[in-house]
């Protein structure tokens, strides 16, 4: 493996050497996966999201509120209300505009200033339930509520 092109590794992957087998292997720092065969680059994912944090969130504060005191049930109800608003939109353009407006005004993530846009990101860069939801969506499709350690999200896949 010493002659392989390791410069083309996807994000979070590095080459390590196994003393037991006396050969190189690949290790993903984010997922802790190891493998003998070289990983190939995957296309980046892209999403906008609306985050409703609650008192049980990993970091129960945001740009909107220094201390978030809403319950998980209240956060879920807020997200469900946003989904109901989005369901009224008749076109994807209208839905994207409305999604961005809601994110900008109500999302507890700092991406609110970008209308919820997280920009392109690599596989393994987000919390697993969030990434799994993005991967399951088609481009321009909106998720059902997604729970992570950060709170409850609605996700709009953009790439």
pLDDT for 2 equals: 43
**DSSP states along 37-61:** SPPPPPPPEEEEEEEE--TTSSS--
Question: Is 153 a known active-site residue?
Answer: yes
Chain segment 55-79, per-residue pLDDT in tens: 999 999 999 899 999 999 999 999 9
Confidence of residue 3 (pLDDT cuts 50, 70, 90): very low
Residue 30 has pLDDT above 90, yes or no: no
Residue 21 has pLDDT above 50, yes or no: yes
Question: Is 6 a known active-site residue?
Answer: no
Catalytic residue among 49, 57, 111, 143: 49
The count of residues in the chain is: 159
Average pLDDT, rounded, for the chain = 91
SS3 labels along 71-126: CHHHHHHHHHHHHHHHHCCCCHHHHHHHHHHHHHHHCCCHHHHHCCEEEEECCCCC
Q: Out of 5-9, 43-47, 79-83, 129-133, which region has the weakest mean confidence (pLDDT)?
A: 5-9
Residue 41 has pLDDT above 80, yes or no: no
Angstrom distance (rounded) from CA 52 to CA 69: 11
Catalytic residue among 54, 107, 109, 143: 109
Catalytic residue among 78, 111, 143, 150: 150
Question: Is 150 a known active-site residue?
Answer: yes
Catalytic residue among 38, 89, 104, 127: 127
Question: Is 109 a known active-site residue?
Answer: yes
């Amino acid at each position: 493996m010493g002659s392989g092109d390791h410069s083309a590794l996807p994000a979070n992957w590095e080459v390590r050497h196994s003393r037991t087998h006396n050969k190189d292997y690949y290790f993903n720092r984010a997922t802790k996966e190891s493998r003998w065969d070289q990983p190939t680059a995957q296309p980046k994912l892209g999403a906008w999201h609306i985050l409703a944090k609650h008192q049980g969130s990993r970091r129960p504060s945001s740009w909107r509120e220094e201390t978030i005191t809403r319950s998980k049930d209240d956060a879920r109800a807020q997200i469900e209300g946003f989904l109901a608003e989005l369901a009224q939109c008749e076109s994807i353009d209208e839905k994207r505009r409305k999604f961005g407006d809601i994110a900008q005004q109500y999302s507890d993530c700092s991406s609110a200033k970008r209308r919820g846009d997280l920009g392109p990101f690599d596989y393994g860069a987000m919390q697993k339930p969030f990434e799994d939801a993005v991967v399951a969506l088609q481009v321009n499709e909106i998720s059902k509520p997604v729970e992570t350690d950060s709170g409850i999200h609605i996700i709009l896949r953009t790439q």
